[in-house]
């Protein structure tokens, strides 16, 4: 199945990345882009747009399978996630107190279950001042995206035939 390259999507990605970076740079830069979470929102919109197109095309061509869909998502997401996680572990082991290390381990379980957004929401809150000290808090948006990948194809499938 051919997927047409969309350069405008890459442009939106660049804007989204810039928004996230500027908001995380701190003062005085973050003053220019308060609430850089708009960059994350743009990523969610791009993901929804692209996934909807993939599902629509594949379901119309009778080529959609959950296995292929999830396998492609796994190959796209898991290598970087595993690398970041494995690189973070020795630093956590070396630099964190026992209490922090326990919290870090719990966050890794949340990450492994693609539920780190729920874990961080229940334990600290993304906007809490101490959130800056949670090395894996950035995975909350990835968990939201993965939850979308699990639920959206099911919703798409149950809402009826895509050809109608």
Q: What is the pLDDT of residue 118?
A: 94
What is the C-alpha separation between 128 and 95, in angstroms, rounded?
A: 21
Per-residue model confidence (pLDDT) at position 128: 62
Q: DSSP state, 64?
A: -
Distances (CA, A) of 37 to 56, 116, 139: 29, 17, 14
Whole-Å CA distances, 40 to 82, 86, 133, 135 = 21, 24, 20, 18
Report the b/e string of 136-162 with b at 16+ CB within 10 A.
bbebbbbbbbbeebeeebeebeeeeeb
Short-list 86, 67, 73, CA closest to 114: 73
* CA-wise closest residue to 50 among 12, 20, 80: 12
Q: Among residues 126, 149, 116, which one has the least CA distance to residue 24? A: 126
Across residues 129-141, what is the average pLDDT?
79
Q: Residue 158: which pLDDT band, with cuts at 50, 70 and 90? A: confident
DSSP three-state, residue 4? coil
Looking at residue 36, what is its pLDDT?
Answer: 65
- Cα–Cα distance for residue pair 80/86, rounded to 1 Å: 10
- Res 126 pLDDT > 70: no
| Mean pLDDT of the residues in the chain | 85
Question: Quick one: pLDDT at residue 10?
Answer: 87
Average pLDDT over residues 107-117: 94
Name, of 5-14, 98-107, 118-127, the range with top average pLDDT.
98-107
What are the pLDDT digits (tens) for 32-91? 666 667 888 888 999 999 999 999 999 889 999 999 999 999 999 999 999 999 999 999
Does residue 135 contact residue 88 with C-beta atoms inside 8 Å? yes
């Amino acid at each position: 199945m051919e997927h047409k390259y969309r350069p405008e999507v890459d442009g939106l990605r660049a804007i989204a990345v810039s928004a996230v970076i500027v908001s995380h740079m701190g003062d005085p830069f973050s003053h220019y882009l308060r609430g850089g979470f708009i960059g994350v929102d743009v990523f969610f919109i791009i993901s929804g747009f692209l996934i909807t197109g993939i599902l629509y095309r594949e379901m119309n061509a009778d080529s959609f399978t959950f296995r292929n869909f999830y396998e492609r998502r796994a190959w796209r997401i898991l290598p970087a996630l595993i690398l970041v996680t494995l690189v973070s572990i020795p630093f956590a082991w070396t630099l964190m107190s026992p209490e922090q290390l326990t919290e870090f381990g719990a966050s890794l379980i949340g990450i492994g279950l693609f539920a780190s957004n729920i874990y961080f929401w229940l334990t600290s809150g993304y906007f809490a001042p101490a959130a800056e000290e949670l090395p894996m808090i950035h995975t909350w948006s990835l968990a939201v995206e993965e939850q979308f990948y699990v639920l959206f194809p099911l919703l798409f499938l149950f809402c009826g035939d895509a050809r109608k």
